[in-house]
A = this chain, B = another copy of it.
Amino acid sequence: MVEKTISDLRIKIFSALSDPTRLELLEYLSGGERCVCEILPAFQRSQSTVSKHLNILYEAGILDRKIDGKRTVYLIKDPQVFDLIRHVDSMALKQISHLAEAGRILEKSLSNGR
């Protein structure tokens, strides 16, 4: 299936990254290329499920794959994806630390007040 617009692909990339299993797969593959038979034992998911997830990342252009005899090897195609994830993490951290700060302020006011 060929992509037509940037918008479609953009959504496809964001969607691909909206699943915890797929983010774990990316992290796992950041250690280097792996065949499915290596990936499977590392994940508590059925073979069909893992295969589907890998394909979603492939279709989003995040992973590449090559066939090596009877196995399929998956690898990171665009390492930029890790910058993306770090970027989101920094946004998430910012929020959580704000929450934490609010929590400390609240805590302090409580312990002072009473």
In angstroms, how far is the closest chain B Cβ from the Cβ of A56?
A: 12
Given contacts A10-B23, A11-B18, A11-B19, A90 and B96 within 8 Å (CB-CB): no
Q: Which residues of B contact A78 (CB under 8 A)?
A: 91, 94-95
The reply on A2 being an interface residue by CB < 8 A is yes
Instruction: Check if A104 is an interface residue, CB within 8 A of chain B.
Output: no
Interface of A toward B, CB cutoff 8 Å:
2-3, 6-7, 9-11, 13-15, 17-20, 23, 61, 78, 80-81, 83-85, 87-96, 99
List 14 A–B pairs whose Cβ atoms lie within 8 Å, in order of A's numbering.
Answer: A2-B99, A3-B99, A6-B92, A6-B93, A9-B96, A10-B23, A10-B89, A11-B18, A14-B88, A15-B18, A61-B92, A78-B91, A84-B88, A84-B91
